[in-house]
Amino acid sequence: MIPISLNEIFSETKKAVRSVNIDWGTAHDTAILSRWLAHHEISFLGSLLKSLELISNKQLSLNILSNNNKKPLSTTLMGILLVEYVCENQLIWKGYIDNPIYLVAAMGIISYEQQVELELKDKNHKLIAYTQNKELFFDFKSNIPLSGFVYLSFNKNKSYKNLIKIDISNIPIIPMVNKKCWEKLKAMAFKTYVPESNKSRISGAGY
Amino acid sequence: MHLKNSIQLNASNSLPMRLPSKVMRLNRLGSFHQTRLSFNRQLINEMYKKKWTFNISEWNFNEEGVGNAVIKAITDINVFSLIVFCHSIKDEERSDRVIAEKWDMTFSLFDGEPTEDEISYMSKNLKIQELGRHLNKQLTLSRANKSVRIFATVLECLSNGKQPDHNLINDIGYLIRTTAVYGNGKFGIGDYSEIQNKSFLKKPFQAEMLTVYLIRYFSIEIINYLAKIKGGSKAVKLNNTLSRHIGVGNATGLGMAPFIINHQELLHKWINAREKAIAKVISLKKLKPSEQLKIITLIKQAHEYSLQWKVDNKIQMKRINEIRLNLKKIIKNKDTNLILKDTYPLKKLIKYNEKKISIETQELLNSILIEPFSKIVDDLVDDMNCEETITLPINTSIHNIIKIIKLKYSWALRLDLTKDSENFFFWYTSETKSEPRLGNRFVDEGVEKELPFDIPHQIQKCLKILITLPKEMSVSEAIINHPEIRLIIRRILIKENYPYSEIQDNLIGSLTKPKDMLRCKLSFFGASKYDPKSNLWTRITLFQGAPLPHQINKKRSCDWLFPILKLDEK
């Protein structure tokens, strides 16, 4: 494991997502989610790389309105859009997803910014996570289905007591990530770079 | 922070703020000068207010000046240390390029006091800069080269017991020049979000400013040290007047430009504070005689500063000559004094001169007008940073977005983007040190990896899509079917609440001069003596005229706008 800064996680994720031909806006969202997860000491890199691989192979859906068990929705990429959509339309969304962790991060962020109340349940209606009063409740040590069918719903004035509050205060942490995975992400990010022309090089600062 | 809860420009205080359509044009942004709100000024103010002290806790150099030093800045609650390593490099290895691989000195600002192990770790990693992995207690990562135009000459003079020529010191303005000051998590150094609660670092770019301030101090100390070694008992130290006129040079290129495109809310906060300051002072009904005198004194000082500001770039030199003429006319005009005695003097002074002076002089005049009024403008610095928004506000309809586009992006809709000239450049990230670069779309390869800085293009495409959708459709539903508009919709929604968040020019058009973007950002850093070398990069000086560590606690140490030096007669 190696220490990586939050900003490095943000910038490398953004470029890596872009490298698989995803639009910049979605790449930005995914980068924010990766940074949020790292900041909360929740492992993210392995699932991110897996999702990017599946996206490259067109095995994940990028459309909230279209998914099935063979081609689940990529919440790694579409997590923020999905929570915005559910909140905006105040509905229960159900479907197959690739990565609940990223969806939970999106719930935490929108709850903090817009004080909306959401709940996420698995296919058996077992509670995975919920938000309340700008706070996120989620037992990430025991409640992480790798993927599968979920219900994400907009809820008002519900109260729960059985999950652990995620501390979203700024506790200084140094994110640690798997070195091999990190190198893989960086290699993907590098694909967005362009070899500079000689003309461009000699017109840069300092010449 | 939610977009809808963010600040509304000028909604409640009715200050006469300038419109974004005037302020946010590149030619005006590229004419900004340092103000008392600039980040290096904020740093010095903080040092003065909190009675910071400085000491050199380690100094291990050989006769060639190779070795290391630790300089401590002791604040009211924290200690920060600048760790400097000086290396021996050949003249031909010395380059201003960000892509250089060897430097005269490499350094880092460290949070606290480093242990021996940490210094040992940094000794291996700092010298290779981007290729190394750095400690999270490091807040910045930087390097500098000696100025070959001045360093040896000054050293020779001091070692022979003489002070160097004032003209030389003024013409160059620094002993060393940095090529990059990395901060906020780059290459493994600490994230600012993790330390912002700590202290003065809540304000923008304070770690970078402190790094530059301390390396300036170091540059003076090391030349004095080397002079003593070389000249022995006959050597003298660089005197206080010349030392104070020594700044730190910097060569700034495209690496800086994306920041002000990518951080809309921050850009707004910076410009908004500046515009509010201008609005506040031009709303003053009467000036005290001392304030009138101060304004006149500052205009004269700015004139003298412009006479001492010389560059090779013909376009910039022409602009400097215009400043000289404009300021001279203002000084000589008898109406200036009468206006300053009148009601709403500063508003009238601007109005009276606006059409007679260049944009660059207008903006320089704005810096002058803000300067004497610390009591009414200094608190604006507390609102120059922000937490950036992430989610799009719920309950926003397509109808709303179209309305904002038509209202706030009319400048982008007016452009004829079918013209080659409006599609001339593309921005990309270079494989070399991940630096942003500008390519010619019709010549260079890599267009498919273009960075999304074609704002008017995205606006026009977005509008084309939106008008085909039901007006009451929500934004998220529109994005589900058109994910490619997510980025620009975010910009549009930020722009709605942050009026100064968008540069109102086509950044890929053939007429774009990226140096204007650099200049805008550098003015907020507090740069002086802009010395553009092309449309793509500029040299600048930071902290020229700023108080030295032993002068920080002296009265008026915070006032150092437009530094001038009494020059030797030729």
> How does pLDDT run across B123-163, given as a tens digit for each residue?
999 998 888 899 989 999 999 999 988 999 999 999 999 99
Mean pLDDT of chain B: 92
- What type of residue sits at position A97? I
Whether residue A197 has pLDDT greater than 80: no
Task: Evaluate whether residue A34 is within a structural domain.
Answer: yes
The contacts of residue B19 (CB under 8 Å, 6+ apart) are: none
Three-state DSSP at B106 gives strand
CB < 8 Å to A89, chain B: 474, 476-477
What does the alpha-carbon distance between residue B422 and residue B367 come to, in Å, rounded to a whole number?
33
- pLDDT, greater one: B128 or B280: B280
Hey, which residues does B103 pair with through a beta bridge? none
pLDDT at B434: 79
Decide if B86 contacts B68 (C-beta within 8 A).
yes
The contacts of residue A187 (CB under 8 Å, 6+ apart) are: none
Give the pLDDT confidence of A61-116 residue by residue, as tens digits: 999 999 999 999 999 999 999 999 999 999 999 999 998 999 999 999 999 999 99
Distances (CA, A) of B329 to B165, B326, B545, B558: 31, 5, 26, 29
Whether residue B488 has pLDDT greater than 60: yes
Q: How many residues does chain A have?
A: 207
pLDDT at B83: 98
Whether residue B480 has pLDDT greater than 60: yes
Give the pLDDT confidence of B169-200 residue by residue, as tens digits: 999 999 999 988 999 888 888 888 766 556 77
Q: What is the 8-class DSSP label of residue B379?
A: G
Decide if B500 contacts B446 (C-beta within 8 A).
no
Whether residue A49 has pLDDT greater than 60: yes
Three-state DSSP at B87 gives coil
What does the alpha-carbon distance between residue B326 and residue B307 come to, in Å, rounded to a whole number?
12
Environment class of B274 (CB within 10 Å of its CB; exposed 0-12, middle 13-18, buried 19+): buried
Three-state DSSP at A176 gives strand
- pLDDT, greater one: B267 or A164: B267
Domain limits for position A129? 2-194
For B103-132, what is the mean pLDDT? 94
Three-state DSSP at B451 gives coil
The CA-CA-CA angle for residues A73, A75, A80, to 5°, reads 125
Percent over 70 (pLDDT), chain B: 95
CB < 8 Å to A170, chain B: 193-194, 196-197
- CB within 8 Å: A23 and B477: no
For B360-379, what is the mean pLDDT? 97
What does the alpha-carbon distance between residue B410 and residue A166 come to, in Å, rounded to a whole number?
44
Whether residue B235 has pLDDT greater than 80: yes
Distances (CA, A) of B352 to B19, B32, B291, B357, B389: 19, 20, 19, 10, 41
What does the alpha-carbon distance between residue A56 and residue B257 come to, in Å, rounded to a whole number?
31
Task: Evaluate whether residue A186 is within a structural domain.
Answer: yes
For B496-502, what is the mean pLDDT? 96
The widest CA-to-CA distance across chain A, in whole angstroms, is 64
Task: Evaluate whether residue A69 is within a structural domain.
Answer: yes
CB < 8 Å to B434, chain A: 193
Task: Evaluate whether residue A50 is within a structural domain.
Answer: yes
Core vs surface per residue A86-96: b (16+ CB within 10 A) or e: bbbeeeebebb
- CB within 8 Å: A84 and B394: yes
Whether residue B359 has pLDDT greater than 70: yes
pLDDT at A165: 72
For B292-318, what is the mean pLDDT? 96
Domain ranges across chain B: 39-253, 265-386, 388-524
What does the alpha-carbon distance between residue B129 and residue B99 come to, in Å, rounded to a whole number?
11
Decide if B370 contacts B281 (C-beta within 8 A).
yes
pLDDT at B191: 85
How close is the nearest chain B Cα to the Cα of A143, in Å?
A: 25
Find how far residue B4's CA is from the centre of its chain: 29
Task: Evaluate whether residue A102 is within a structural domain.
Answer: yes
pLDDT-derived band at B410, boundaries 50, 70, 90: very high
How close is the nearest chain A Cα to the Cα of B233, in Å?
A: 38
Q: Which has the closest alpha carbon to A7: B12, B310, B134, B546? A: B134
The answer to whether B193 contacts chain A (CB < 8 Å) is: yes
DSSP codes, A68-136: -SSS-B-HHHHHHHHHHHHHHHT-EEEEEES-HHHHHHHHHHHHHHH---EEEEETT--EEEEEETTEE
Task: Evaluate whether residue A203 is within a structural domain.
Answer: no
Whether residue A167 has pLDDT greater than 80: no
Q: Tell me the two tokens of residue B290.
A: 């001392």
| The most confident of B100-104, B477-481, B500-504, B558-562, by mean pLDDT | B500-504
pLDDT-derived band at A156, boundaries 50, 70, 90: low
Decide if B324 contacts B289 (C-beta within 8 A).
no
Q: Tell me the two tokens of residue B471.
A: 């007006």
Q: Tell me the two tokens of residue B357.
A: 């002076």
Q: What is the pTM of this model?
A: 0.93
Give the pLDDT confidence of B320-354 residue by residue, as tens digits: 999 999 999 999 999 999 999 999 999 999 999 99
pLDDT at B273: 98
Whether residue B29 has pLDDT greater than 50: yes
Task: Evaluate whether residue A206 is within a structural domain.
Answer: no
Q: Which has the closest alpha carbon to B44: B56, B58, B34, B57? A: B34
pLDDT at A172: 61
Whether residue B11 has pLDDT greater than 50: no
The widest CA-to-CA distance across chain B, in whole angstroms, is 85
Sign of CA dihedral B458, B460, B463, B464: negative
pLDDT-derived band at B7, boundaries 50, 70, 90: very low
Task: Work out how many domains chain A is built from and give that number.
Answer: 1
Q: Tell me the two tokens of residue B306.
A: 């412009």
Lowest-pLDDT range of A157-166, B5-14, B75-84, B426-435: B5-14
Q: Which of B3, B486, B533, B535 to mutate: most A Cβ within 10 Å?
A: B486
- CB within 8 Å: B534 and A203: yes
Q: Which among A7, A88, A204 has CB closest to B536?
A: A204
- CB within 8 Å: A192 and B449: yes
Task: Evaluate whether residue A40 is within a structural domain.
Answer: yes
Strand B425-429 relative to strand B247-252, pairing: unpaired
How close is the nearest chain A Cα to the Cα of B401, in Å?
A: 15
Mean pLDDT of chain A: 88
What does the alpha-carbon distance between residue B166 and residue B30 come to, in Å, rounded to a whole number?
29
For A132-161, what is the mean pLDDT? 78
Distances (CA, A) of B93 to A78, B146, B153, B324: 48, 12, 20, 39
The answer to whether B241 contacts chain A (CB < 8 Å) is: no
